[in-house]
Amino acid sequence: MPAANTTLPASGQRVQATLDALGINSRVIELTVAARTSQQAADALGVQVGCIAKSLVFRASRSSRAVLVIAAGDRRIDEERVGEVLGEPIERAAPEFVREHSGFAIGGVAPVGHPAPLVTFIDSSLRRFETVWAAGGTPHHVFPIAPADLVIASGGREIDIV
């Protein structure tokens, strides 16, 4: 179960500051266990795995742009579909690329708080839920957010990506 956290690490503070600046009423909290996967996060929170909004950074094959895909934890991302919408294929990104462009390590990539805006696509199936949980900058930190607020906060384009 999550525990309230008054002292966030720098990455969690960056996420919280972004949420605050956007006027989104949500708090980054610390989990008692690491949640590097959607299933681990769901188990720690006691929610369905679909309620986990996983943030994955891909690399656009031709332009080398960073592409953030936010998807429900119970869905598999259709990389070909994302590439079609983007206008160029995407590929898995190396951990260094993810950190450089998102500001976070794999396993804790938040949907907000990046050094610069990322091309972002959001899985429309997240709307099945009133509240979803997203990474808060580390594998130990998460925050709750309404799917509509997630679209606004991330600046993403909502599409069917799974």
Q: What is the pTM of this model?
A: 0.93
Q: Residue 18 sits in a domain of what CATH number?
A: 3.90.960.10
pLDDT of residue 7: 84
pLDDT of residue 6: 53
pLDDT of residue 5: 41
pLDDT of residue 10: 94
Q: Is residue 122 assigned to a domain?
A: yes
Q: Is residue 105 assigned to a domain?
A: yes
Cα–Cα dist 117/143, whole Å: 20
Q: Is residue 31 assigned to a domain?
A: yes
Per-residue H/E/C for the chain: CCECCCCCCHHHHHHHHHHHHCCCCCCCEECCCCCCCHHHHHHHHCCCHHHEEEEEEEEECCCCCEEEEEEECCCCCCHHHHHHHHCCCEEECCHHHHHHHHCCCCCCCCCCCCCCCCEEEEEHHHHHCCCEEEECCCCCEEEEECHHHHHHHHCCEEECCC
Q: Is residue 59 assigned to a domain?
A: yes
Residues 2, 44 contacting (CB under 8 angstroms)? yes
Q: Is residue 30 assigned to a domain?
A: yes
Residue 52's domain comprises 10-159
**Total number of domains constituting the chain:** 1
pLDDT of residue 2: 44
pLDDT of residue 36: 87
Q: Is residue 46 assigned to a domain?
A: yes
pLDDT of residue 111: 98
Of residues 144, 135, 153, 133, the one with CA closest to residue 50: 133
Per-residue pLDDT 10s for the chain (162 aa) are 444 345 899 999 999 999 999 999 999 999 999 898 999 999 999 999 999 999 999 999 999 999 999 999 999 999 999 999 999 999 999 999 999 999 999 999 999 999 999 999 999 999 999 999 999 999 999 999 999 999 999 999 999 987
Structure tokens at 155: 């600046």
Q: Is residue 76 assigned to a domain?
A: yes
Structure tokens at 112: 């907000």
Structure tokens at 81: 């579909």
Q: Is residue 3 assigned to a domain?
A: no
